Chain A
């Protein structure tokens, strides 16, 4: 089911940290090594989940996102493993 979405919308996905503050996105794919992927999924970041980028920290990194009704802070390096589609 998800693989279908990957092929049809691959061109429009961006990294999670490329969203603008206040912008909403829907997760399409988690990349990275198996360990990183599991870690992000444990936090509730799964394909199909919607996320909002709330803001960036004073020095640009990390970012604050809202996912599954809670606020989470992750570093940009990890956010780059999360591919999202705007909206």
Chain B
């Protein structure tokens, strides 16, 4: 019918076209309803015949261990606890495994930096050249490599093994009911898993969701999965404030547990925000969810190493390095340009102080987050630099020294740590992620939303948490 209308509208002269369309319609009416089934069935039979000819399979189609594993992994009772446990084990291996290489790398890189300073002094370079290059740019770079490389080199291969094994589709299968209730797509669980590595990669991965509405929801909420750049901050806080409260034997486990809790809060926020979006600005019906559950496969070691180390670790590290170099320079400049007797760092953080206090943080932390918009990796070193006023990212050899600086000198409490962990989880995505959102959505509006919405949520939640805590502490007379 529509075909006829279009034809008659566009050109009444093409009677030949009308004739053909009329004939087609007539013939379709003559067919019985199952003609399409028959066509598709014939295509399938052809395809299966070709498959039989060219593909050889071993006769034992399903392995017993395959089914046993699947029974646990997607079990009604154990499926969801198993996911949380697996996540905890992955974090535990990452934290305890990265500890030693991280401090060795830091030691080596800072030693090299000290030699660099000596070289520049011997060459008679002006102090500000030495400062900018070695204390600013180089130290930012060294910190990012030392802090990020070891955990990534452990986390990404484990993640790739799980991917290769075929576990990730099972995760989507397990939790789809939650996403359905939130009006979102079960495959969002896959894009969230990618976000644990890098949000920019997670946003690109949202292409696997066909429905534009559900894809946009997945893009806008991907930020609530803490990415690799935020892990160092979370790991340091978990180690200093959570693990320290436990005996050494359980410290790494307690830290891993608190990280699992952070991810669960992130997942809950994702579902909640998805539900609100799909009932307001992005209203619509849940589309279909169809996902192949591939058989479990033995991961190929070479492929795992290549994908995780070259495609992911080096890619993410390179991006961090490119961002850390200018940021290190900016920190050094802000701390060394003085106006009215104090450095720009002090001016800005004093101005931000009341806002920071209202949400349980302080002005220095907010300043660090502004400087770290290009790369979240440098939040902690920036905070340290601003506190010490040294104008450089000083090296703190041990966690004990860092704890002394934060707790004894700057008065950080458990509340500060909790608020900072929540802020790290919820705040605006980095500039690379936002640029990726723009590339994927081609919309300035949604790019702005993807930045401001998480920031507003972070401020609101932290304000409630901090004010409640202040009020309770006031009642208790602290």
Contacts and interface: CB of A to CB of B under 8 A. Distances in A.
A and B interact: yes
Contact of A72 (B36, B74, B174, B293): B293
Contact of B74 (A1, A41, A57, A60): A57
B37 interface: yes
Contacts of A68: 44, 48
A62 B293 contact: no
Interface string A68-79: 111111110110
A61 B180 contact: yes
B86 interface: no
A78 B288 contact: yes
B173 A70 contact: no
A62 B186 CA distance: 10
A47 B40 CA distance: 10
Given A3-B32, A58-B75, A72-B293, A36 B288 contact: yes
Interface residues of B, number: 34
Interface string B273-295: 00000000000001011111111
A55 B291 CA distance: 14
Contacts of B74: 55, 57-58, 64
A24 B289 CA distance: 22
A69 B44 contact: no
Contacts of A43: 290
Given A3-B33, A57-B74, A57-B173, A46 B180 contact: no
Interface in A25-79: 30, 36, 39, 41-44, 46-48, 55-62, 64, 68-75, 77-78
Nearest to A47: B37
Interface in B188-238: none
Nearest to B61: A69
Interface string B454-474: 000000000000000000000
A30 to B, nearest CB: 8
A2 B37 contact: yes
A73 to B, nearest CB: 5
A1 B74 CA distance: 39
A26 to B, nearest CB: 14
A2 B61 CA distance: 30
Given A47-B34, A59-B178, A71 B293 contact: yes
A41 B288 CA distance: 13
Nearest to B48: A68
Contacts of A57: 74, 79, 173-174, 176-177
B68 interface: no
B141 to A, nearest CB: 45
A78 B176 CA distance: 14
B76 A58 contact: yes
Contacts, number: 89
B41 interface: yes
A3 B34 contact: yes
Contact of B34 (A2, A59, A77): A2
B355 interface: no
Nearest to A34: B36
Contacts of A64: 74, 173, 293
A60 B292 CA distance: 18
Contacts of A1: 34
A64 B48 CA distance: 22
B40 A78 contact: no
A34 to B, nearest CB: 9
A17 to B, nearest CB: 13
B291 A60 contact: no
A72 B44 contact: no
Contacts of B291: 72-73
Contacts of A71: 292-295
Contacts of B289: 62, 73-75, 78
B21 interface: no
Contacts of B177: 57-62
B80 interface: yes
Listed residue (B36, B37, B48, B295) with the most chain A CB atoms within 10 angstroms of its CB: B37
Interface of A: 1-3, 30, 36, 39, 41-44, 46-48, 55-62, 64, 68-75, 77-78
25 contacts: A3-B34, A39-B290, A41-B37, A46-B40, A46-B41, A46-B44, A47-B34, A55-B74, A57-B173, A58-B76, A58-B77, A58-B79, A58-B80, A59-B178, A60-B177, A62-B173, A71-B293, A72-B292, A72-B293, A73-B169, A73-B292, A74-B289, A75-B180, A75-B288, A77-B286
Given A44-B44, A47-B41, 16 more contacts: A36-B288, A41-B37, A42-B40, A43-B290, A46-B37, A46-B40, A46-B44, A55-B74, A60-B177, A61-B176, A62-B186, A64-B173, A71-B292, A71-B293, A71-B294, A77-B288
7 nearest CB pairs, A to B: A59-B177, A71-B293, A58-B79, A2-B34, A73-B291, A61-B177, A75-B289
Interface of B: 32-34, 36-37, 40-41, 44, 48, 61, 74-77, 79-80, 169, 172-174, 176-178, 180, 186, 286, 288-295
